[in-house]
Amino acid sequence: MKSPALLLVLALSFVFSNGEEEITTTTTTVSPESPWGRIYLRNGLAPIQYFRDDFGGPMAPHEVSFYFPKLSENRFGCELLPEPELLEVEASNRSAVLVVDRGECTFERKALLADQMGAAALLVVSPTDDVSAPLSSLKDTQGDAARLRFAVSNGIADAWELLEKYSTRSAWPKRVKRCSKTLAQLLYQIRGFGGDNEVEEALKNLFLNVVGGSLHDWDKVAHPDENVQEDEDSSTRDTVVHTVKKSETRDEL
């Protein structure tokens, strides 16, 4: 039985020092460029952990309280709170857990703003049980190549749904053609994002064993004709960066 609401919790770890206090515990310095926190999604009774690079860490080691933005337009936590509220959060000395609604911006933006405002943690509440994952996140737009993290995208999910629908159990004669086209597009995108041979081998096994295609059919999928590929300019670094920047908006909201 699914829960009517999906609760998403970002457990944030902060390291800070107070000149008036004596630090007796060992602390770990976190790189300013590293994302922080861990997101847990609960769909009914099944917990799902939403992984992000460098996320994770203990909660505040002291008692905390919930803080709710006072104005409805600030309920998403996508911008800094008004100064009076900001002062309240800062005065809590890392003991206030900011509670916001899901949507309007990414988890990462909400979390970084909560950290900037001095919250001990961030609690994101959703009225739905919708769960999705990011396509990719751009690490660096400078230099000769774009550094990015590739993750499962909606395209792979859509491809799997199509493969399941038109598997060898189906007598529909066009299943190989339809799945071949989908996999060819997917494979092209994965290669553009630096996918490895293991991913391609997994798709190949899927095509042969689930779709029922032949090795000859797979060769056409893996090495399509030049006239069906995008032109050379579409695979340049600038295009990859542009594509990734656009895809960042598809991060978990």
Question: Which pLDDT tens digit goes with each residue over 168-183?
Answer: 444 445 667 777 777 7
Question: How much of the chain, in percent, has pLDDT values that exceed 70?
Answer: 41
CA–CA separation, 91 and 76 (whole Å): 21
Which is more confident, 192 or 25? 192
- What residue type is assigned to position 121 of the chain? A
Judged against a pLDDT cut of 90, whether residue 79 lies above it is answered with: yes
pLDDT at 4: 39
Neighbours of 187 (CB within 10 A): 21
CA–CA separation, 50 and 133 (whole Å): 8
126-145 pLDDT, tens digit each: 776 565 544 444 444 554 44
CA atoms in the 13 A half-sphere facing the CB of 28 = 8
Judged against a pLDDT cut of 90, whether residue 7 lies above it is answered with: no
CA–CA separation, 135 and 106 (whole Å): 13
| Mean pLDDT taken over the chain | 62
CA–CA separation, 108 and 253 (whole Å): 9
218-245 pLDDT, tens digit each: 888 887 764 344 444 444 445 544 544 4
CA–CA separation, 95 and 19 (whole Å): 18
Question: How much of the chain, in percent, has pLDDT values that exceed 90?
Answer: 9
Highest averaged pLDDT of the listed ranges 1-15, 210-224, 234-248: 210-224
Q: Give first-to-last CA distance, the chain, whole Å.
A: 24
pTM assigned to the model? 0.39
| 210's tokens | 């689930």
CA–CA separation, 246 and 216 (whole Å): 35
Radius of gyration of the chain (CA): 23
